[in-house]
Amino acid sequence: MSQPALNCQPQHQLKILVISDVSLYRDGLIGQLNLYKEFLSEGYSSHSPLSSEQLNPFNIILIDISLPKISAIIKRIQKLHSPVKIILLNLFDQPQRLFQCIQLGIHACISQSDNIDCLRKCIEKVCQEGQYFSPDITQSLIQQVVASGSEQTQDVRLSRLTNRQLRVLELLETGQSNKEIAKTLSIEVATVKNHVHSILDKLRVRSRCEAAALLRRQVEA
């Protein structure tokens, strides 16, 4: 029985590639995803390198965090097919490895406690907002960044933001989505997206989590 439609790309089927060397898990996830009529999923292992032609049809790539040389795999995907959205399957609690992948610019992460509905929501958020990290993962990443960062560098970067951008960052740090921030500030979602883009650029970070961590570090300094 098929699942209800997702409001992500209503006129197009999302093509999803699942990369995992555990065939039982990979095949099971593909089967669950394909219950949604707007998803068309395929699987792949890391044993053979993917070509640009193989990657091009896909909108979303789900990658198992336990893959060997995962950083190299992510970099290769970004080089060959930069528009694709990468979601990490964090099936094991590996915060340091997750942090490294965040720094490479992945777009989302699913933890071992999440179910298929959580993954569907994650895909929808990535389609709408570009990135999505659950509050639990966000807090874990903030702790990693706070522990590894420099206070002096953080202060200089934050001083580049306008008052409005700082306010957006404060709301972002609490875990609010673009839509929630727009409602709080009574502005358009597109305006929030522009602010977030500018914030990431000025702070020289690749994710909302890293940006939030810089603010948290200043508050706790």
In tens, the pLDDT along 123-158 reads 998 988 788 877 677 766 666 665 665 444 445 778
In tens, the pLDDT along 32-59 reads 999 999 999 999 998 877 888 889 899 9
In tens, the pLDDT along 182-194 reads 999 999 999 999 9
In tens, the pLDDT along 87-119 reads 998 766 677 788 788 888 899 988 878 889 999
Q: Choose the CATH number for 140-220 among 3.30.750.24, 3.90.1150.10, 3.40.50.2300, 3.30.70.2860.
A: 3.40.50.2300
| C-alpha to C-alpha distance for 135 and 96, rounded to whole angstroms | 17
Is the pLDDT at 3 greater than 60, yes or no?
Answer: no
Listed in sequence order, the residues at least 6 apart from 185 whose beta carbon sits closer than 8 Å to its beta carbon are: 167, 168, 171, 192
Q: What is the pLDDT of residue 152?
A: 46
Q: What residue segments make up the domains of the chain, in order of their start?
A: 14-132, 140-220
CA angle 25-14-8, nearest 5°?
115
Q: What is the pLDDT of residue 219?
A: 62
Of 78, 42, 76, 35, which is closest to residue 58 (Cα–Cα)? 42
Query: What would be the CATH architecture of the domain defined by 14-132?
Result: 3-Layer(aba) Sandwich (3.40)
The reply to whether 140-220 shares the fold of 14-132 is yes
